[in-house]
């Protein structure tokens, strides 16, 4: 390979890296900062970001809007997430305990294979509604940073100002979850 050709290839490689870096910087600078998590951290609440996603537990779709009038626990998870596996029995217990009061637990499986998500549900005895977000459309609007994460929506469709990072059954999150449910039912 000639020296001129090598220099051209190197220049092209450097240009490609600079271009990708510029694209990354642009994406970070222009990402949606008005996420549910960001609003809650500022002490603000508003309408819960809507979705209309395919069901995992049955056929059809489930929209958040169809649950208006109920308090809704939105739990974002993945089948490979260890804390999600540990949390699943607590969510199932909450669903069984609270549904008579008008609380619906909805598991939002994100970036997962349907078969893995269904195996998870079977293994952990999940009976609450499950939806499947293969494209990750809910991640940006809710501002997810990891799994599991839980939001609670009141009967009017407004987010409760409590955002639970990690398991609902661990440490301070037990009290946060109970407080969020009380707020959602009081509205």
Q: Report d(CA 64, CA 43) in Å as an integer.
A: 22
How much is the average pLDDT of 47-57? 96
Q: Which residue has the tokens 């603000």?
A: 44
Q: Which two tokens stand for residue 90?
A: 């607590």
Average pLDDT, the chain: 89
Q: What share of the chain is helix, strand, coil (3-state, %, to 5)?
A: 45, 20, 30
Confidence of residue 37 (pLDDT cuts 50, 70, 90): confident
- State how far the Cα of 166 lies from the Cα of 161, in Å rounded to an integer: 16
Dig out the tokens for 183 from the structure: 């707020």
**pLDDT digit string, tens, across residues 157-182:** 999 999 999 999 999 999 999 999 99
Query: How confident is the model over 62-91, as pLDDT tens digits?
Result: 999 999 999 999 999 999 999 999 999 999
- Region 100-104: what's the mean pLDDT? 97
Give the pLDDT band of residue 31 (cuts 50, 70, 90): very low
């Amino acid at each position: 390979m000639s020296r001129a050709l090598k220099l051209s290839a190197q220049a092209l490689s450097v240009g490609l890296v600079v271009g990708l870096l510029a694209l990354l910087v642009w994406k970070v600078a222009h990402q949606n900062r008005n996420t549910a998590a960001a609003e809650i951290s500022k002490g603000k609440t508003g309408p819960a970001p809507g979705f209309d996603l395919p069901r995992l537990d049955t056929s059809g779709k489930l929209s958040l809007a169809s649950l208006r009038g109920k308090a809704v626990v939105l739990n974002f998870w993945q089948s490979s997430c260890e804390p999600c596996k540990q949390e699943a029995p607590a969510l199932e217990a909450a669903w069984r305990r609270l549904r008579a009061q008008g609380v619906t637990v909805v598991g939002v499986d994100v970036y997962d294979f349907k078969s893995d998500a269904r195996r998870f549900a079977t293994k952990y005895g999940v009976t609450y509604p499950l939806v499947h977000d293969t494209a990750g459309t809910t991640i940006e609007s809710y501002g997810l940073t990891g799994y599991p994460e839980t939001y609670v929506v009141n009967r009017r469709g407004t987010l409760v100002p409590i955002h639970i990072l990690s398991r609902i059954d661990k440490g301070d999150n037990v009290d946060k979850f109970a407080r969020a449910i009380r707020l959602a039912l009081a509205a």
